[in-house]
Amino acid sequence: MKYFLFGALFCLFSSCGMTVVVGLANEPIRDYDIAIQTAQVEEKNVLLIFCLDNCKHCNILKKDLPTIKNANHYVVCVLDSRENKRLTGKMNIKKWPTSVIITVGKE
């Protein structure tokens, strides 16, 4: 399952922000803007995972998140696609779960 995550669809985007709020150590961040801001401060990339609450594969992936969260190279952000329709549409997400790597600070 861990290899499936990194074999998923990858895209590169950049963004900026001002306020920084850091999530709990063992919990993924659930807000896109906070994930981007945290990644800028920590100089890391964002591992953005789009899920649905009723998706069997999404729920399996969420159980593996504590091991993924410990990856030193990423700020992990899990978003429910129904609650983040604008971003889901912007990134053309059509299947779940979908993982996106966002390189912060690079254009």
Q: What is the pLDDT of residue 13?
A: 28
Average pLDDT, the chain: 76
Q: What is the pLDDT of residue 26?
A: 59
Backbone angles phi, psi at 35, to 5 degrees: -60, -45
99 has a pLDDT exceeding 60: yes
Least confident of 14-18, 78-82, 95-99: 14-18
- Cα of 85 vs its chain's centroid, Å: 15
More confident residue, 20 or 98: 98
Kind of pairing, strands 74-80 and 45-51?
Answer: parallel
Give the confidence band of 31 by pLDDT, cuts at 50, 70, 90: very high
Q: What is the pLDDT of residue 54?
A: 92
Q: Percent of the chain beyond pLDDT 90?
A: 55
Which three-class secondary structure string do you get for the chain?
CHHHHHCCCCCCCCCCCCCCCCCCCCCCECCHHHHHHHHHHHCCEEEEEEECCCCHHHHHHHHHHHHHHCCCCEEEEEEECCCCHHHHHHCCCCCCCEEEEECCCCC
Query: What would the pLDDT profile of 47-87 be if each residue is shown by its tens digit?
Result: 999 999 999 999 999 888 877 656 678 899 999 999 999 99
